[in-house]
Amino acid sequence: MTEKLLDKEVLMNYVNGEWIEANETTDVINPATGESIIKVPLSSQEDVDQAVKAAKAAQKEWALVPAPMRAEVLFEVGRIMKEKKEHLSKLLTMENGKVLEEARGEVQEGIDMAYYMAGEGRRLFGQTTNAELKDKFAMSVRAPIGVVGLITPWNFPIAIATWKSFPAIVAGNAVVWKPATETPLMANELMKIFIEAGLPKGVLNVVFGSGGTVGDALVNHKDIRVISFTGSNDTGRRIAAKCGEQLKKVSLEMGGKNAVTVMDDADLELAAEGIVWSAFGTSGQRCTACSRVIVHEAVKEDLEQLILKKIKELKIGNGLHDDVKVGPIINKAGLEKIKSYIKIGKDEGAKLIAGGNELTGDEYAAGLYFEPTVFTDATIDMRISQEEIFGPVVSLIPVGSFEEAIEVNNSVEYGLSSSIFTRDVNKVFKAQRDLDTGIVYVNAGTTGAEIHLPFGGTKGTGNGHRDSGVQALDVFTEWKAVYVDYSGKLQRAQIDVE
């Protein structure tokens, strides 16, 4: 590494306005090189207790700061992120592996989210309405909930953190945040940015450590009123069950089995481009990644050829290098999971037409790399058509009609993102109505969400809440109905007056 990007060797938790050293740490590995880049704390239940205590105390004051003033901190966060964009992007590539241009895109999402949520500081709209009685005023307002716990994944370590923390903070809550152990650098940087922006102590606290210890302690803590989680379905379900027992609000954003549908009238060149970008970008490690292509049988062979041609142009390697388009896989477990699905796909009888192998040797020897992989002639009952692989693997499923395409799209337990390529406006409108996913694209791939729209999905993808967009405020606020009686006498509502 010619450029020095890190100024320390061990990260620290940030609690109640102080950096706190940990007793125990683990290495953070750059998946492109296999090198340890820094050490991250493995915190304990006691560390979580301290952070929640600090957040609880700070929240009382923070909630009394007028929302437009709370928003000033976010404007400043956005400005500093913009100033540090290149530095943040390089660190993000080092810890996560995604290619630099994608890392820049992710940091930009965070900047956009800062300005967008700062704007909410001057809105946070409630409603006024009519009261049933004379000389009485009625309105509903958003109230902060208290201390919120955020549990975030490694695949979008800064964007997802901003989708959750910015609305929580602008709404007057205090936060305890547990980032994924694999990608702590973005959390460390975002915390430093908040400090520079003038956030009062205790409003945001970062506690690093494993999901099993720190994440679980957050979920079970009696003073945490909301958990917002993004990650796997298994973990999400377990968190939901524990929150359910405690009647704790929980927002879950989990997996996807997203499909691009290509109709027989589609612009095939454009469709192939959309498929390759959304299936192999970020090495397929997005919850919105395209992992199924539902293709009209009349154009299947042409589409296959176009996809295969485009795959040949993808350079795989270290995302810090300019010409690289597909970076490494996050860790060995992720790589093994992908390899197991290649075997499953072959055993199930799908036809492998590209990739299928881990890359080893020479420039790939120290990192974790997998070839962009295409199966064709898959059927909907196959596991590769149903289960989330979270890697650069896509399966083509041929269909004979638009109706069948919609049915295949909706045949999975997930409902995050879907896309259709067609030139027929009637099909466009039917598809946006009938595709059972939280996000629908027309003539574009399945990725590329914009922060001012709600992000999340139907069915097994979530539990009805949304990240980002104005809808994120619903996760971090309670609705309060307020009645002001200015009649000067006790008026009794809900009584039938003849």
Ligand X SMILES: O=C(O)CCC(=O)C(=O)O
Ligand Y SMILES: NC(=O)C1=CN([C@@H]2O[C@H](COP(=O)(O)OP(=O)(O)OC[C@H]3O[C@@H](n4cnc5c(N)ncnc54)[C@H](OP(=O)(O)O)[C@@H]3O)[C@@H](O)[C@H]2O)C=CC1
Q: Measured from the CB of residue 287, what is the shortest distance to ligand X in angstroms? A: 4
210 binds ligand Y (CB under 6 A): yes
477 binds ligand X (CB under 6 A): no
- Residue 287 Cα distances to 4, 257, 290, angstroms: 32, 8, 9
For helices 67-83 and 85-96, the axis angle rounded to 10 degrees is: 80
**With respect to ligand X, which residue has the nearer C-beta, 55 or 159?**
159
- Residue 8 Cα distances to 11, 81, 143, 185, angstroms: 7, 20, 40, 11
Place of tokens 């709209």: 125
286 binds ligand X (CB under 6 A): yes
Size of residue set near ligand Y by CB under 6 A: 27
Query: Contact, 161 vs 177, CB < 8 A?
Result: yes
Residue nearest to ligand Y (CB): 211
Burial (Cβ within 10 Å: 0-12, 13-18, ≥19) of residue 481: exposed
Structure tokens at 323: 């010409």
Binding track over 145-164 against ligand Y, x by CB under 6 A = ------xxxxx---------
Pick the stretch among 85-93, 139-147, 205-213, 270-278 that binds ligand Y (CB under 6 A).
205-213
251 binds ligand X (CB under 6 A): no
Could you tell me if residue 198 is left (phi over 0), alpha (psi between -120 and 50 degrees) or otherwise beta? Answer: left
Which one of residues 17, 119, 200, 448 is an interface residue with ligand X (CB under 6 A)?
A: 448
Size of residue set near ligand X by CB under 6 A: 10
**With respect to ligand Y, which residue has the nearer C-beta, 334 or 398?**
334
Q: Which does 114 bind (CB under 5 to 8 A by kind): ligand X, ligand Y, none?
A: none
Q: Tell me which residue of 224, 217, 296, 294 sits closest to 260, measured CA to CA.
A: 294
Q: Which of 253, 304, 387, 388 is flagged as catalytic? A: 253
Q: Measured from the CB of residue 292, what is the shortest distance to ligand Y in angstroms? A: 15
Torsional sign, CA 447, 254, 436, 251 = negative
Q: Could you give phi then psi for residue 348, rounded to 5 degrees? A: -80, -10
301 is catalytic: no
Structure tokens at 232: 């796997």
Q: How far is CA 162 from the centre of its chain?
A: 10
Contacts of 17 (CB under 8 A, 6+ apart): 54, 200, 201, 202
The rounded distance, in Å, linking the Cα atoms of 190 and 157 is: 10
**With respect to ligand X, which residue has the nearer C-beta, 50 or 261?**
261
**With respect to ligand X, which residue has the nearer C-beta, 48 or 275?**
275
449 binds ligand X (CB under 6 A): yes
Pick the stretch among 45-53, 107-115, 175-183, 425-433 that binds ligand Y (CB under 6 A).
175-183
215 binds ligand Y (CB under 6 A): yes
235 binds ligand Y (CB under 6 A): yes
Binding site for ligand X (CB under 6 A): 155-156, 159-160, 286-288, 447-449
Residues tagged active-site: 253
Binding site for ligand Y (CB under 6 A): 151-155, 178, 180-181, 210-212, 215-216, 219, 230-232, 235, 238-239, 254-255, 287, 334, 337, 388, 390
